[in-house]
Each structure stands twice: as structure tokens, then as C-alpha cells.
Structure 1
Amino acid sequence: MRVLGLSRGLIMAGLLGGIATASGIALTTTSGWLIVRADQRPQIMLLLTTIVAVRTFGLARPVFRYWERLRSHDVALGDLAERRTRTYAALIPLTPARLGSRGRADVLTGVVDDLTDVVEASVRVTVPAIAALLAGITAAALTALVDPGVGLVVAGMLAATAVVATIADRLESQSQSEVLTARAEVARVAQLGSEHSDELRSIGGTATAAEWLRAAHDTLQATVTRQARGRSLSAAAVLVITGAGALASATLAAGSGASTPVMALLVLAPVATGEALGVLTDATRAHARARACQQRLDELLDQEPAVVEGALRDGRFATSSGNVTSSRTATSSGNVTSSRTATSSGSATAPRLELRGLTAGWLPGRTHLGPLDLTVEPGARIALVGPNGSGKSTALAVLARHLDPIGGSYTIGGTDVADLDLADVRALFAIVDDEPHVLAASLRANLALAAPDADDEALVDSLRRAGLGTWLTGLPDGLDSRLGTGGLGVSGGERARLSIARAIASGRPVILLDEPVAHLDHPTAEAVIADLLQHAGERSVIMVTHHGVGLDRMDRIVTIETKGVSRRAQERIAG
């Protein structure tokens, strides 16, 4: 687990920071010499060189500090963009089976806040450490040229501060995991309360939710306070080291026989150096936090995916009604047909899906579904019903290849899914769940998430098919209207219809619905499902529901029952 690293850009930033810090030390010492020497009222010409030096150091410190900040932040932001891309790519194969009980807030904290803390360690730890080390060594060496004894005192301050920083790092690390856990809990409770605010108000639970959030904040405050005590002790230790160094230097300078201005310089040297070394206290805090964050990221990402990549045999899916060809493989006629390039016109042809004796589980050694027999003909409308825990959502996860089966078989167009390309299998399915996410971006961007190559006409058509035509007409900027934070509010019904519009715009031939209208009132839920089925075209639709909404519109209803540890499926024709 590597948190800190060195690069050419960071070394350059550290050197620039070292020059800025050394300029600050030089400014303090030369200013002290100049003040004392000026008090002796010498000829002004004897002070000009020092006056110029003070001005130079005074200008150099902010200039080099600004240059260091530009350089270090440029490196850090570039690294953050690259590592976020790699992290998201590593997270995708783990979704959703390997996320366990982690909620959206916890995952968001991990891949945003934790990753930011890890990358910022280069700015908050590496660069300040290089700068403080360079400036401290320079100050010790130059002071030793004036008085070797005081030079040794400054060097001793460097060593003592290094010991204090090491101890502080251990103290910070011991409690940092507790702080991160408490911070994640605050984010989880806040996200839970905000997403379900309407439900909480309807049952009078806002006070209870507020109490949960208050308790989470109290826990975070308590852990941060405990951690702050160790940090304050380390900061006090640096001040004690600085005071002891100044006292020792004053004693040595008084007995050195040096002139009064030189003695002022020698006394101020450890004071200025101690101020420069004080940044290491904050650096140890950032280091401990970055290590804990990296550990959380490793625990999340260093997992084996729940789906094993299969080999694409012939480059296409054979279906009962034709071929669904991969976008990476051209046919002999030069035509390429892919569910990833289909539009909302409904031209995509659904394949035949078949599950035989299939069992699956989210955890090793556990079975949460099956054995299940299920056949989905092209264009079929099927509802999966049953009690909680019977495996309905697990069945959808297996169909979408988010989870590999434990036993039995799963074929698409007669070909086992293990022999088909994972990306192409997943590209067959559009998924709509009970908590669709609305990006804080334009309406166009929200739809382009599912159909990046679709033009505006296709996006508008998908909105109309999802029952949002009137809503779109009333938006101030049409597809350019901003939704979410900083933009327009979206109701529960509009959110559900927007997710359905995404599914339609994607052109994917199979739509999987996991309680898509669970949080809507019955008339709205019926209208949403009716619009979806009306405009699904030749797509297959498989819906999981507990509330019976839309069952009368389905071709078949599959009831998955739970009895002990075994599960069985019963089917009946709807209507």
C-alpha cells in the first residue's frame, strides 16, 4: 500500500518550497541583524547591502511560494484525474455484487473523498517535507558558518522535530480509521434522510432522522476531538523544541564574543527554523489520513469481481429471431448491428434468454436464488413476484451479468453466457431500479449517460415515450435545462420517468425493472408502467415488483417462493 510517491514535478515543487521557506528564515534573521545594527546608528551606506537582502528575501518568499503552489497543485490535479479514472474502471467490475452492504454515500465517500485525501498527500506531505528539510539543512549549514555551536543546535532541532513527527504520525494513525468511519456514517445518514425526506414527513419520522444525524455528528466530533489532543501535543512539542533551541542559541551567542547584531541573528535563526518546521505537524495529519483512506480504497477495490470475463467465440449473439452482432465485429455485408448503437426507434431485436436450474448467491457459500427455470422469449413481458429475500433482484443481476451463477445454466440465444463477451452481454440490458440517480447536470447530459451517440431528436422522442413530453415543453431551456443541485427539482414520478426515458433512449433490447415505481402513489405508478410497456416496442421487459402495479399488463407472472433454504418458481399467465 503506497501512499506517498516522488515524481519530477513533486521534487521540483519541493525545491521551490524549500527556497521559499529558506527565504523566510533568511528574512527573519537578516531583519533582526538590520534592526539591531540600525539601532547603533552607523553610516547608512553600511546598511545598504543588508537592506537590499531583506527586500530580496521579502519578495522571494511569496514569489517562490506561489510558484511552488502552482507546480504542486498542477501535479496533484493531474494525478487525481488519472487515479479517479483508474479507480472508477476498477470499481465497475465490482458493481454491485462486491459492494456488499455499502450504501451509495459510503461508496461515494470512498471514491471521491478518500481518493482526494490520498492524492492531496503529495501536496500536504511530500512537498512540505522536502521544503522543510531543505530549508532546515540550509539554515543549519549557514548558521554553522557564523557559529558552529548554534549550527549544531539548529541541526538538533531538525532531529528532534523528526522524532516528534514520527510519534505524531503514529498517534494520528491510531484514531484515523475511527474518524473516517464516523465521517462515512454522517454521509450515510445524511444521504438516507435527504433521499427519503418525503416518506419521513409522511410518517412523522423527521425528528427521528434528525436525531440519527445528530448522533452521527456527535460521534464524529468525539473521535475528532480525541485525535486533536494528540495533534495538539505534537504541535506543543515543536514549540518547546523551538523555545529550547532559541534559549540554547542565546546562551551560546552570549558567550561567543560576537557583535550584538550577530548575536541577534544567531538567536533568531532557531526561532525562524522552528516556525518553518511547524508545518510538519499538519503534514503528519495528512499522511495518517491518506494511509487510512488508501486502506479503505484497497479494501474496496482489491476484491475479485463476481463475474468472470468469458471469451467471445464468433463475435456475435445468435438469437431465435436473428443475429445481434457485436459492435467490434463486422458482418460479411459490412453491416454492424449492436445494442450499444441502437436508437430509441426500437430497432434492436431482443434475444431469447433461458435459465435452467440456475442458482446464485451474493456471498461465497450462500445461495440467494434458485434453482430457477425461466425462459424469456423475444418481446415478452414478465413479472417476477415473491416475498422479500426470495431472490428476485438476484435473478435480474444474473440476467444482466452483474453476478455469475453458482450452478445451472444461463444461455442467450442458445449460447452459454460464459462463452460470450461480457461487455456485449451487458450491453443488451437497460436497468431501471427504485432509486434512479439524477446528475447535477443538463437534461441532455442525463440522457446521454445511456445514449451518448443519440441526437437531440432521439432524446426528445425518448422523453415523449416516457410520458415527459409536457414536462419537457415547460422547461425553460429544454434539453439544456439543468437538473438536480443548483438546477430544477425533479419529483419522484419525473425521476422514475426520466430513468425509463434513459432505458428507451439506450435502444437496448431487454429492459430490467427492479421496483421502478416503489416510491410512487398508485395512479402515478400505473401511468409510468403503462407508458413504458406501450413504448417498449419489441423489447423484452422483466419487472420485479412487490406491489402488483402493472401485473395485469404482463404476459406472464413468475412467483419465486422461499421455503426454508430452497426456492422454487411458479408461473401463471397474467390476466
Structure 2
Amino acid sequence: MTNGQAFHRLLRMVAPFWKMVLASVLLGAATVLSSVGLLGTGAWIIAKAALHPPIGDLNVAIVGVRFFGIARGAFRYGERLISHDTTFRVLSRLRVWFYAALEPLAPARLQRYRSGDLLARIIADIRTLENFFVRVLAPPWVATLTAVLLTGFLAAFAPRLGLAWLVFFLLAAVAVPVWARLRARRAGQVLVSRRAALNAALVDHVQGLADALAYNYATTQRRLALRLGEEILGAQAAMASLEGAEQALQILFSGLGMLAVLLLGVPLVRAGALGGVTWVALVLVALSGYEAAFGLPTAAAFLESNLAAARRLFELVDAEPAVKPPAHPAALPAANDLRVEALTFRYAPDEPPALRQVSLDLPEGKRVAVVGPSGAGKSTLIALLLRFWEYDEGRITLGGRDLRELLPDEVRSRFAVVRQKPFIFSGTLRENLLLAAPDADDARLDAVMEAVRLADWLHTLPQGYDTDLGGQGLQLSGGQRQRLALARALLRDAPILLLDEPTANLDALTEQALVDTLLETTRGRSVLWVTHNLVGLEAMDEIVVLYKGEVAERGTHTDLLARGGLYRRLWDLQRQNLVEV
């Protein structure tokens, strides 16, 4: 994406607030013109007073000084109020827009991004755009309006005065910002990219701190963070140095502009075409008018980092979702029979199939297990059922309707999921449970906690349901996390329960206890149990064995053991490992 494309897209986001932007520009110009009027009127009073005129000759000018002094403060306050209010409204709209665009990309299109990088885009890059609306967009319009009015004002006394002032104003307002932007281009890009890299590195460091300490890797991580921090400081120092040079050049050009008006006015005063008092006032008017140009180099310097942040945001949201909702979605069927027919799926066109010609039936109220070694395609099947990825070959039907004909969110409403590594949100126990059923009362929560055998643990918590579980629920044991995930699934009360390796990484006793709970609490529900552990599968109505993405065999637990195939070998291997333990 080019800078021009990013700039135009940012402008489109501001377009709904054009009235507020216009008001901000007009108030900004009024503030500068009030400063011009204040300094010019003050200079006129001082010069006129030197001639000892009657006091009545100064009354209007004295009132003018008071007016411009008060008006400047009032206009500046109004400009800041409206410009910042507009900025916060636009940023709020931008955050909502970005999240809404991000949600359909999860999880398929976000897997290649580091979590810290995503966090930097959501927070730091959007915060960077605050400068776009306050320091980049409005100042050029304020400067343009001021330049037109002051050039016309000075030219009314003598065209050469207006032309001379305008030449130096263009040098200060155009040449210096263009030079500043060219010099700031690399520093601005480095600042955005290194800040994102530092955020990503810090998130990785914090999340992996225990392993880093165990393997003496913390020093290396610290060095990386320090190096990125030094690069950010270097970019910031370059920006600060550039800002100082810009201010020096602008002061130079404003002084030269004032000097030009001063020198060009001398022959006019001698010829009687311009009064001496007026000439003094115009010199100060010319000097104060350059205030409108002083914010432009900063705008140019910030523009590069703003566009770099915008490109990072647009790069992400412009990605095509893995699953697109149908143009004319069908109504969600009442039945919940789930059928997979000859399903073949690849994560990328040049990759081998993760699933090949897989078929299975899950009638309402039945239990089906999908087993196999790691890498067999079990979790891929769950992701396809939840419409996280699109499938091209074969069919998946719900109540006789192909999932591609239904809205993805409506499809997911029929499923409750217990994952291998359930995510526990930082917050209270109640908040984590109400994620599945926001309207559930304490009686319903109590029933679910009793069902998943967490009632005794609940009574030990100091604040019951309002106990904070800590960051990502790290205070919970593996068994407690899985049972809490099961409680959420039961609260959702969806007709189909998807269990994706729910007993992985648990010890044998905890695993058997959780399996007993699962079998007890899911009676009468449709259950698709994806696992490589074969505990509790005697209760399944059918077991589908996957190997390298294909169905190797299917049947009941007893039938598969009797056949002596892959399932029997997996069963014998697990029993042998259990005996050794």
C-alpha cells in the first residue's frame, strides 16, 4: 500500500466529522489572526503614542488590544476542545472498526502474527494516529487560510509587501516541512517498526519468563529488549534533532520575512504612500503571521510515522478472511444432525492434505470419538466444524444444510467447545463463567459447578464467584482449568459438544476423574470427542480412527479391539505406558 492510498483512507475515516474538522480549522485560523491583531494593534499604539496624540485617538486601538487578547484565549480553547474531541471520536471509531475487521480473521489469518505485534497494532499504532488528526490534518488548512488573508491584507497597502511576505511564508510553510518529511522518513518508519518489535518481544519475554529463567536465556532476552530500546531512542533523538533544525529554519525565514517587509516599506514611507505608524504595525503583523507556519514541519515529521502506522493497520484488516459469509444465507435448520462427507482440506494449495476423504455421522444425542496419533488431523476437523477455515472438497452438513450456506456465527451457536488448552480470562470466576451465559444466575452457576465437581473448590475461594483468577488463570491447576472449561460449555447449553483433547497433559488419576465427569454431564447430548487418549471410549457409540488425515478404521470400542488394527495398537501402547507408570 502506498502512502497516498493510506492517506486517503485515513481521510475517509475523518469524513463523517467534517463539520467538527472545519470548525477546528476556522478556530485555529481565528487564534492566529487574533495573535496578529494583538501584536499589530499593540505596535500601532506604541508607535502612535510616541507622537503624543490626544488620548481619544488611542481608545479604539486600546479596545482592540483587549478584544484580541481575550479572543485569542477563547479561540484557542475552542480549537483545542473541538480538535481533541474530534480526535477521540475518530480514534474510538477507528478502534471499533479495527476490532470488527480483526474478528473475522481469527484464528486462521492471525496465526502468522506474534501476539505482541498484534497488541502493538491495536494499541500503539492506533495511538500514533492521534497525531494525524491533531498535528497533521488541521495545521496545513490553518496555514493556508491565514496565508490567504494576511497576503491580501498586506497587499492592500502595497502589493510588494504581500508578495515578499508570501515568499518567505512559503519557504517556512512548504520548503521546510518537505525537507523535514524527507529527513524524517526513515526515523519515523524505524520508530514504528522498532516499537512494534519491542512490544512483541516484551510480551514473549513475560509469557515465557519461567522457561527463559530455567534455560538461562533471560540475559539474551534482556539484550534484545535493550537493543530495540536503544534503536527507538536513536530514532526519537533523530526526530528531536530534526525538530530543532526545523524550528531554527522557521525562525530564520520568519525573521527574513519581517526584514523584507521592513525594508520594502522604507521607500513607501518616504514617498508618503504609507504612514510611519502603519508601517511599524505592518512589520509586527508580518512577523506574527508566521505563527501559522510553525506547526507544519512537525506535521510533516509526524506524517511519516502516522502513515507507517496506518499501513500496518490496513495491511492486517485488508487480509481476506478464511471464511466468508454467504451472500444469501439459508435459515439455520431446527435439526442438529451433523454429517461429514468425503471431506478433504489443505491449509495451503501447495501443502499436502491435512484431511483426505473423511466421513462421519453424528446423529442427535449420540457420541462419536475421533482418535489417532498427533498430526492425524483431529484438531483440523474441529476447526472446520467451527468455520475457522473454509473447505473446498466434500461437505459438512448440519440438519441437512451445508455449513457454507449458513452464517458462521449461527453455525457456532450450535456448538459448545472444550479445548485442550482452554483460555481463562484475567478476571473473576463469575466473569469467566458468564462468558458462556451472560444471564445465568447464581443458582444455575451452582448447579454447573456441582456437575463438574468444582463445588468443594468453590467453597474454599475467599470471595466465591467474585474471586479473581489472576492473569490467564495461572493460579488454577490443569484439572481445574479443564473442569472450568467444561462448566462454560455446559452453561452454553448448545446441542452439540465438541471436546478437543480435553484430558491432554493431565495425570492419569485427574484424567480418569475428568472423563467420568464428562460422560456423566453429557448424557443426552451430541458429543464429538477428539482425543489421542483412549480412556472412557467404551461409552462412545462410534469411534473413527484417523491416520495421516485419512479414516483408517471405524467401529465401537469392542469391535476395534477385536480387529487388531491401529486402534488396538494404540490401546496396547497406552496400557503398557500406564502399567510402567
TM norm structure 2: 0.77
Match 2:387 to one of 378, 401, 407: 401
Are residues 1:315 and 2:322 paired? no
Are residues 1:3 and 2:6 paired? no
Q: Is the 8 A contact 1:355 1:374 kept in 2?
A: yes
Q: Summarize deviations over 1:126-159 as a string: whole Å, max 9, x none.
A: 2232223223333333333455433323322332
CA distance, structure 2, for counterparts of residue 149 and residue 484 of structure 1: 72
Question: CA 1:313/1:36 → structure 2, altered by over 3 Å: closer, same or farther?
Answer: closer
CA distance, structure 1, for counterparts of residue 326 and residue 221 of structure 2: 45
Partner residue, 1:334: none
Question: CA 1:291/1:311 → structure 2, altered by over 3 Å: closer, same or farther?
Answer: closer
Match 2:373 to one of 386, 403, 410: 386
Give the drift of 1:92: 2.5
Match 1:366 to one of 327, 347, 351: 351
Aligned amino acid, residue 62 of structure 1: G
Q: Is the 8 A contact 1:384 1:542 kept in 2?
A: no
CA distance, structure 1, for counterparts of residue 511 and residue 142 of structure 2: 62
CA distance, structure 1, for counterparts of residue 483 and residue 337 of structure 2: 27
Aligned amino acid, residue 205 of structure 1: Y
Partner residue, 2:563: none
CA distance, structure 2, for counterparts of residue 385 and residue 247 of structure 1: 86
CA distance, structure 1, for counterparts of residue 508 and residue 339 of structure 2: 32
Give the drift of 1:101: 0.5
Q: How does 1:440-519 map to 2 (within 5 A)?
A: 444-459=430-445, 461-462=447-448, 465=451, 469=455, 491-493=475-477, 498-512=484-498
Q: Is the 8 A contact 1:34 1:47 kept in 2?
A: yes
The DSSP-based 3-state class of the residue aligned with 1:396 is helix
Give the drift of 1:272: 2.2
CA distance, structure 1, for counterparts of residue 340 and residue 237 of structure 2: 55
The DSSP-based 3-state class of the residue aligned with 1:134 is helix
Deviates more, 1:89-98 or 1:117-126: 117-126
Question: CA 1:243/1:400 → structure 2, altered by over 3 Å: closer, same or farther?
Answer: same
CA distance, structure 2, for counterparts of residue 471 and residue 285 of structure 1: 58
Partner residue, 1:212: 224
Question: CA 1:276/1:316 → structure 2, altered by over 3 Å: closer, same or farther?
Answer: closer
Partner residue, 1:246: 258
Give the drift of 1:518: 7.1
Partner residue, 1:152: 163
The DSSP-based 3-state class of the residue aligned with 2:27 is helix
CA distance, structure 2, for counterparts of residue 524 and residue 261 of structure 1: 95
Give the drift of 1:184: 1.8
Question: CA 1:168/1:367 → structure 2, altered by over 3 Å: closer, same or farther?
Answer: farther
Q: Summarize deviations over 1:1-24 as a string: whole Å, max 9, x none.
A: 322244122112211222122222
Q: Is the 8 A contact 2:165 2:258 kept in 1?
A: no
Give the drift of 1:265: 3.1
Partner residue, 2:32: 21
Question: CA 1:21/1:403 → structure 2, altered by over 3 Å: closer, same or farther?
Answer: same
Partner residue, 2:65: 54
Match 1:133 to one of 125, 130, 144: 144
Aligned amino acid, residue 535 of structure 2: D
CA distance, structure 2, for counterparts of residue 287 and residue 536 of structure 1: 58
Partner residue, 1:80: 91
Deviates more, 1:490-499 or 1:178-187: 490-499
Q: Summarize deviations over 1:244-280 as a string: whole Å, max 9, x none.
A: 2233233334554366654543333343233331111
Partner residue, 1:287: 303
Are residues 1:184 and 2:206 paired? no
CA distance, structure 2, for counterparts of residue 385 and residue 154 of structure 1: 81
Q: Is the 8 A contact 1:359 1:372 kept in 2?
A: yes
Give the drift of 1:353: 3.7
Give the drift of 1:400: 0.9
Question: CA 1:383/1:33 → structure 2, altered by over 3 Å: closer, same or farther?
Answer: farther
CA distance, structure 2, for counterparts of residue 262 and residue 435 of structure 1: 79
Q: Is the 8 A contact 1:369 1:395 kept in 2?
A: no
Question: CA 1:150/1:543 → structure 2, altered by over 3 Å: closer, same or farther?
Answer: farther
Q: Is the 8 A contact 1:117 1:290 kept in 2?
A: yes
Partner residue, 1:296: 312
Are residues 1:122 and 2:133 paired? yes
Deviates more, 1:390-399 or 1:468-477: 468-477
CA distance, structure 2, for counterparts of residue 119 and residue 73 of structure 1: 9
CA distance, structure 2, for counterparts of residue 522 and residue 307 of structure 1: 38
Aligned amino acid, residue 59 of structure 1: I
Q: How does 1:29-44 map to 2 (within 5 A)?
A: 29-35=40-46, 44=55
Aligned amino acid, residue 426 of structure 1: R
CA distance, structure 2, for counterparts of residue 438 and residue 553 of structure 1: 26
CA distance, structure 2, for counterparts of residue 111 and residue 515 of structure 1: 32
Q: Summarize deviations over 1:421-451 as a string: whole Å, max 9, x none.
A: 4322122233455665555666555444432
CA distance, structure 2, for counterparts of residue 238 and residue 119 of structure 1: 25
Question: CA 1:157/1:77 → structure 2, altered by over 3 Å: closer, same or farther?
Answer: same
Larger Rg: 2
Structure 1 gap segments, 5+ residues each: 318-322, 325-350
Q: Is the 8 A contact 2:425 2:473 kept in 1?
A: no
Aligned amino acid, residue 281 of structure 1: P
Q: Is the 8 A contact 2:416 2:494 kept in 1?
A: yes
CA distance, structure 1, for counterparts of residue 508 and residue 67 of structure 2: 75
Q: Is the 8 A contact 1:3 1:118 kept in 2?
A: no
Give the drift of 1:398: 1.0
Give the drift of 1:98: 2.0
Give the drift of 1:569: 5.3
Q: CA RMSD in A?
A: 4.0
Aligned residue pair count? 535
- Tell me the percent identity: 30
The DSSP-based 3-state class of the residue aligned with 1:102 is coil
Aligned amino acid, residue 32 of structure 2: T
Q: Summarize deviations over 1:151-204 as a string: whole Å, max 9, x none.
A: 323322332212433443455455544433222211211122222333434444
Deviates more, 1:397-406 or 1:28-37: 28-37
Partner residue, 2:559: none
Q: Summarize deviations over 1:458-517 as a string: whole Å, max 9, x none.
A: 3454455556546655667655666768xx975254666555443332223444455678
CA distance, structure 2, for counterparts of residue 501 and residue 400 of structure 1: 19
More helix, by proportion? 2
Q: Is the 8 A contact 1:359 1:367 kept in 2?
A: no
